[in-house]
Amino acid sequence: MSHTPVNVLFLCTHNSARSILAEALLNHIGQGRFKGFSAGSSPRENQQPNPLGLQVLRAAGISTDGLRSKSWDEFALPDAPHMDLVITVCDNAAGEVCPYWPGQPATAHWGYADPSAIVGSDEQKLEAFRQTLHAIHRRLELLVSLPEGAVDRLALQTRARDLAHQAPAEALP
């Protein structure tokens, strides 16, 4: 796995907020060793990434090119990229029966509160997205810092599951 990137699929229900943030962030910090993807168990018809999430990503200097909401069914197709790790980022998706993933990738659950569910001012909503991005960043930094020899299926699953118990960072500089 050291010459090809570790493919990580982030799952959520609608694929509009948390999973999109994780996909973009991993592609930003993955150093070519990791490639992020995202999908939803049941994206709504014409679902789009949440505009506040895209705004927070752009403000952090993270590319939003190519981000789109999609069904996890795309990643169960024969011509889909092979996933090495599948991470659910919302409790709803974690409790659902997932499709069969070719190659039996490692799995983990990293639960985050839904920033799009915040009721409040525009600034409060943006802050919820910023905090979610920071919490995801904390775990992903630890994941991408794994030495190359530690990125086999068992080590990846063990480490990803251990990271689920890491306290989210308050805020990044």
Q: How far apart are CA 165 and CA 97, in angstroms?
A: 23
| pLDDT tens-digit readout, 138-162 | 999 999 988 876 676 657 777 777 8
Q: How far apart are CA 97 and CA 169, in angstroms?
A: 30
Catalytic residue among 6, 9, 12, 52: 12
Query: Is 116 annotated as catalytic?
Result: no
Query: Is 64 annotated as catalytic?
Result: no
- Cβ-in-10-Å burial (0-12, 13-18, 19+) of 29 comes to middle
Catalytic residue among 1, 29, 60, 98: 98
| pLDDT tens-digit readout, 11-65 | 998 999 999 999 999 999 998 999 999 999 888 888 899 999 999 999 999 999 9
Q: How far apart are CA 108 and CA 12, in angstroms?
A: 13
Strand partners, 35: 7
Helical packing angle, 18-29 and 51-59, nearest 10°: 20
Residues sharing a CB contact under 8 Å with residue 36, sequence separation 6 or more, in sequence order: 8, 10, 22, 23, 24, 25, 26, 27, 30
Query: Is 12 annotated as catalytic?
Result: yes
Domains and CATH numbers, the chain: 6-163 (3.40.50.2300)
Q: How far apart are CA 35 and CA 82, in angstroms?
A: 11
Catalytic residue among 83, 90, 135, 156: 90
Reported pTM: 0.86
